């Protein structure tokens, strides 16, 4: 059976500041410098599913369903939000790495074994990829 990778691209904008509860204020300022202050990003999210094609439909999954799941379980929680208000980021700094893991965790119950990769572009230069490892 051929294996196909199916990717959906979405965008969201969020405010955040980088701060770790494991560091002192002085250390936080040192480590995160300008990112210790509140600022925002226009994120580009790419979610990739990996699976076989259902013979009858010709699809790994209907992209309309994929879109709805990402909208409901990720974009609704992150778009035009301050990430510092989310419970998850009370314990983890809202770095691109941790946001990618947060997104994976939100999607995993809905896509199951089909979920292959979450790719989060924070700036033109910075991208985090998480594959559930």
Ligand X SMILES: Nc1nc2c(c(=O)[nH]1)N=C([C@H](O)[C@H](O)COP(=O)(O)OP(=O)(O)OP(=O)(O)O)CN2
Site for ligand X in 18-37 (CB under 6 A): 18, 35
Report helix, strand or coil for 86.
Answer: coil
Taking each helix axis from N to C end, the angle separating 96-111 and 63-70, rounded to the nearest 10 degrees, works out to 130
**Which one from 11, 30, 72, 80 is the annotated catalytic residue?**
80
Site for Zn ion in 18-37 (CB under 5 A): 35
Q: Which of 88, 97, 108, 110 binds ligand X (CB under 6 A)?
A: 97
Report helix, strand or coil for 63.
Answer: helix
Residues 6+ apart with CB under 8 A from 40: 13, 14, 15, 16
> Does 45 contact ligand X by CB under 6 A?
no
> Does 69 contact ligand X by CB under 6 A?
no
| Residue 52 touches which of Zn ion, ligand X, none (Cβ within 5-8 Å per kind) | none
Name the residues annotated as catalytic.
35, 80, 122
């Amino acid at each position: 059976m051929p294996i196909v990778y199916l990717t959906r691209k979405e965008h969201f904008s969020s405010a955040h500041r980088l701060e770790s509860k494991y560091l002192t204020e002085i250390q936080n300022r040192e480590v995160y410098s300008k990112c210790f202050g509140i600022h925002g990003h226009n994120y580009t999210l790419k979610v990739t599913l990996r699976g076989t094609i259902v013979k009858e439909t010709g699809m790994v999954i209907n992209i309309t369903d994929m879109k709805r799941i990402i909208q409901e379980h990720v974009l609704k929680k992150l778009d035009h939000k301050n990430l510092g208000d989310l419970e998850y980021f009370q314990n983890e700094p809202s770095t691109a790495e941790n946001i990618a893991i947060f997104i994976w965790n939100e999607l995993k119950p809905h896509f199951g074994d089909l979920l292959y990769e979450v790719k989060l572009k924070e700036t033109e230069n910075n991208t985090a990829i998480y594959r559930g490892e």
